[in-house]
Structure 1
Amino acid sequence: MTEPAIRIDSLRKVFRARERGAGLRGAARSLIRPVHREVVAVDRISFSIEPGERVAFVGPNGAGKSTTIKMLSGILQPDSGDVRVLGLVPWKERQRLGFRIGTVFGQRSQLWYHLPARDAFELLARIYELEPNEYRERLKSLIEAFDVGDLLDRPVRQLSLGQRMRCEIVASLLHRPEILFLDEPTIGLDVTAKSVIRDLVRDAAERDGSTVLLTSHDTGDMERVCDRVIVINEGRLILDCPVRDLRTEFIRRKMVTLLTAEEHVDLQLEGTAVVERAPYRTVLEIDTRRAAVGEVVQAALARTTLRDLTVEDPPLEEIVQEIYHNRDHWREAGPS
């Protein structure tokens, strides 16, 4: 039987936070007699990920996503529980593990701000002990896949955020990692850049057979890159299922924004609620159990001329809260 790429059993991490007293007198008292409180970042979560799986690890801010990634990559040591990544204990065997994993943190760069990306790639090749020929062949294939040939000799500071992120991912893939940890890789990117990054990550993982664990607030990242989703909230695992089940079971609403040729139009339609109305603009919330988006759009077209329309899922935080309130619907966390 194949050993999981990642196995977590009752993982827990607690941070101590100093409490500051109110007012000047309270602040002074806190300096003399500091009071600390415990903040449970990760609360006894358990799951496993098989080799080659692409898993989204999602939840609202403060849910424990980044803390978990840092424990899996060996940056943090858990307070209790057991972790195995490629059969290794991350914080005990961090150097060995580092040769077999790649990490991308959306808000932290592994490139040098004033130097060209090529210089960073060459240094990383030495760190990972790649043979010169192996490095050249690997870099050539990644340059073609990620279309970064014209970016390599420009200082990183001159790159757009989307261009830099493409170079960041190339850097993380140079040594053919068996697992790729992606922490908010599309944060701050525009719609086009997000789409490019998602497709590149998915294609690279499929090509190399890599395992992917991706944290994100963006449902687009989850749907375009991953096949499975693990949801945590307040440090606890509350759902583990295929991405397709998340959509069919919990995303039961769509937000449709209609820009109309007429200033005011009555667009109260079956299965919808008007949540915002302004001149030439109406926002509808569609209950997808009662009405399909296409049917609503067709009904709107019968009443007015549309200049534009957008269709969006509700924010991930709302979906997570709905999952949390309905967690008893799922008998046991685990992919079907």
Structure 2
Amino acid sequence: MNIIDIKDLSKEYIYKKNINKALNKVSMQINEGEIVGLVGPNGAGKSTLIKLICGILMKTSGEISIMGKDPFKGRKKVCYDLAVMFGQRTSLWYNIPVKESLYLVRDIYSIPKHDFKIRLDKYSKVLNVSDLLDIPVRKLSFGQKIKCELLSIILHNPKLIILDEPTIGLDILSKQSLRNILYDFAHENKATILITSHDLDDIQKICNRIVFINKGKFQLNLKRNDLDNILIKTAVIYVDKNDENGELVKSKFYRDKSESSFKFVMPATEVQNFTLNLYKFDNNTNFRKESPGLEDILYEYYK
């Protein structure tokens, strides 16, 4: 079943008689239970797409169906099975205990009290926030607020969850915990999750499909197996910097530099020739090979 079904979707803004195509005839289907990462540079069209999915914006042309409904015309019905979380915003009330905001969620979504208690007990333990429910939101740390916010959006067992920069500002352990929770929730409840993030490490670790958008168009749509095959065929080489090898930055594989090394990204088939050529600069050149990450693969698409 397609939870999100988009065909030739466009959204245009007119400013001083100029037409800005925020989205330009994009098509995408996301199935039940998928965890999809939506990535791209600032201004690529990610936020516009999310607002169209949520029914906040009306399309200019094309087709969009969310759980079989038009999200703009049927926004109230769609919202009962939809949950959205923005990393920099909160739906929790600032001056009252967390649980009071959760009771409001219960009433808004008409969750039976028995079901609500079971879910609250279960998910608060999973998120490790049971001891925070009686504390006013204003007294929570940023990471604690994020966890409580996630708790509030999953209590009504949404079929579709949209997360915008969900791990921004979290430490390493909190990020890992949040990723595990999302993964388990999706698989236990057959929930579909759409994540937008500039943290490509998060995207790579949790998503089973990655969609890259830029200038209002989808440029990549990679399933997990496709990405893994690309990663296998790609290599990252770090070369120690010295007085002799500064010319290496002219290499077509040059990517970046740090205080102590140059970074190169290349097809795995080029590694042997590249490393042999290193000794033209210095017979004592030191280098190391590492596995690539999603950032290394998508770099060229950000330009």
Deviation at 1:38, TM superposition (A): 2.4
Q: CA deviation at 1:152?
A: 1.4
Superposed, which structure 2 residues align to 1:27-106 within 5 Å? 35-106=16-87
How far, CA to CA, are the matches of 1:228 and 1:190 in structure 2?
A: 25
Indicate how the Cα distance of structure 1 residues 312 and 184 shifts in structure 2: closer, same or farther if over 3 A, else same. farther
Query: What CA deviation, in whole Å up to 9, does each residue of 1:184-222 have, x standing for no partner?
Result: 111233333222221211111112110111111121221
- C-alpha change, 1:277 and 1:6, in structure 2 (3 Å) is closer
- Measured after TM superposition, the shift of residue 286 of structure 1 is 5.2
Corresponding residue number in structure 1 for 2:214: 233
SS at match of 2:144: helix
Are 1:129 and 2:110 counterparts?
yes
- In 1, the alpha carbon distance for the partners of 2:179 and 2:99 equals 23
Aligned equivalents of 1:137 and 1:277: distance in 2?
A: 51
The equivalent of 2:164 in structure 1 is 183
Matches within 5 A, 1:150-165: 150-165=131-146
Counterpart contact for 1:255–1:313, Cα < 8 Å: no
In 2, Cα distance between equivalents of 1:158 and 1:257: 47
Q: Could you tell me how far apart the structure 2 residues matched to 1:214 and 1:277 are?
A: 30
Task: Give matches, 1:1-336, under 5 Å.
Answer: 3-17=1-15, 35-249=16-230, 252=234, 254=236, 276=257, 278=259, 281-285=260-264, 287=266, 289=268, 290-291=270-271, 316=295, 319-320=297-298, 322-323=300-301
Letter in 1 for 2:188: R
Amino acid at match of 1:285: F
8 Å CA contact 2:255, 2:265 repeated in 1? no
Q: Percent identity?
A: 33
Larger deviation, residues 189-198 vs 58-67: 189-198
Cα deviation code 1:111-137 (max 9, x no counterpart): 122222211111011000011111111
| SS of aligned partner of 2:76 | helix
CA contact (8 A) 1:182 1:214 kept: yes
- Cα distance change, pair 88–184 in 1 and its aligned pair in 2 (3 A): same
Give 1:109 shift.
1.2
Q: Give CA deviations for 1:144-198 in whole Å, capped at 9, x if unaligned.
A: 1111111212222222222111111111101001111111111233333222221
SS in structure 1 at match of 2:78: helix
- C-alpha spacing 1:312/1:102, structure 2 compared with 1 (3 Å): farther
In structure 1, runs of 5+ residues without a counterpart are: 18-34, 296-302, 304-308, 326-336
1-side partners of 2:130 and 2:123: how far apart? 9
1:240 CA displacement: 1.1
1:89-128 residue CA offsets vs partner (Å, 9 max, x unmatched):
1111111111111111112211122222211111011000
**d(CA) in 2 for partners of 1:288 and 1:142?**
44
Pairwise CA distance, 1:315: 7.9
* Equivalent pair of 1:222/1:243 in contact (CA under 8 Å): no
The 3-state SS of whatever aligns with 1:188 is coil
Aligned AA (2:264): E
Q: Is the 8 A contact 1:65 1:232 kept in 2?
A: yes
Q: Aligned-pair distance for 1:253?
A: 5.0
**Letter of the structure 1 residue corresponding to residue 151 of structure 2:** V
Q: Distance in 2 between matches of 1:275 and 1:57?
A: 25
What value does the CA root-mean-square deviation take over the aligned residues?
3.4
Flag structure 2 segments of 5+ consecutive residues without an equivalent. Answer: 276-283
Partner Cα separation in structure 2 for residue 143 and residue 51 of structure 1: 25
Matched residue SS, 1:246: helix
Matched residues in 1 for 2:39 and 2:29: separation? 15
- Aligned partners of 1:237, 1:273: CA distance in 2, in Å? 26
Contact 1:8 1:46 (C-alpha < 8 Å) held by counterparts = yes
CA displacement, residues 32-52 of structure 1 (integer Å, 9 cap, x when unaligned)? xxx343221111101111111
Q: Does the CA contact (< 8 Å) of 1:274 and 1:282 recur in 2?
A: no
Structure 1 position 84, deviation (Å): 0.8
The aligned amino acid for 2:100 is: D
